[in-house]
Amino acid sequence: MKIPAIRRGRRLLTAVAAVSAAVMALGALPATAMPADQVNPIDKMIYENDHPMGSQIAKHEGTPMTLVHPDDISIQAAVYGIDVSGWQGNVDWAAQWNAGKRFAYVKATENTNYTNPYFAQQYNGSYNVGMIRGAYHFAIPSANMQTAIDQANYFVNHGGGWSRDGKTLPGALDMEYNPYGSTCYDLAPGTMVKWILNFSNTYHSRTGRWPVIYTSTSWWSQCTGNGGDFTSTNPLWVARYASTVGTLPYAWGFYTFWQYSSSPIDQDVFNGAQDRLVALANG
């Protein structure tokens, strides 16, 4: 994903100033970047290991050249929010609140070997200004079903838990294109569905909540073969960087969240009024 400077955060902008935003694709450190021994270790860890929500969807499906505003006539009420990861560093939450954002999702973990070093500032900071917030996990599926269980536990153990306080959203499972190789992680559709189900069941057994599933319609169709129906348990968070939400992933009749833009930071809308958002938080 082409990550604008504002999304990378001031720390990363300083650390890798020699790298233009146009080459900030998530992957190996570009040859034009500063030498590893001159980059702040935290920034280097983020740069090499943190794949923000939607980064691979934007990379494969594209983003509009202009700022997108949601235009969905089916929305009777809406609450606006953002999602963040280590790329944003310390977020100015007061500014986000003043901009009208009322909820936030914060990246907690990826696979079983990465935790967001800015998680506490982002998760607690959003809460402290009055936002309802939740955590998300960037999934790295595999044919080994134990990895689904391990990743769900890792997520819960590193910030992805839930409490009935009216301010904590259920954790979100980020399912998108493989940043390391083949689109569907070399998994057959049935195996992918089983992996997602095992993660979801493990998260539910640990927290009492079903995780929100974040994905795009295109990825879901390709990688699950439209063979899994999660509509009775898992709220949908759909990614589509356009003014309309478009066709939803298989079987879901409505979306709970819509990530409609990645500029200047990931922009999201909740499909309902504030009291419904609180109800989702309360379970």
Q: Which residues are catalytic?
A: 83, 174, 176
**Which residues lie across from 168 on neighbouring strands?**
133
Q: In this structure, what DSSP letter does residue 126 have?
A: H
Q: How many Å apart are CA 68 and CA 171, to the nearest integer?
A: 26
Half-sphere exposure of 103 (CA within 13 A, CB side): 30
Cα separation of 124 and 127, whole Å? 5
* 114-115/103-110 β-pairing: antiparallel
Residue 88, CA atoms < 13 Å, CB-side half-sphere: 26
> Which residue type occupies 277?
L
Instruction: Name the nearest CA neighbour of 70 among 244, 186, 257.
Output: 244
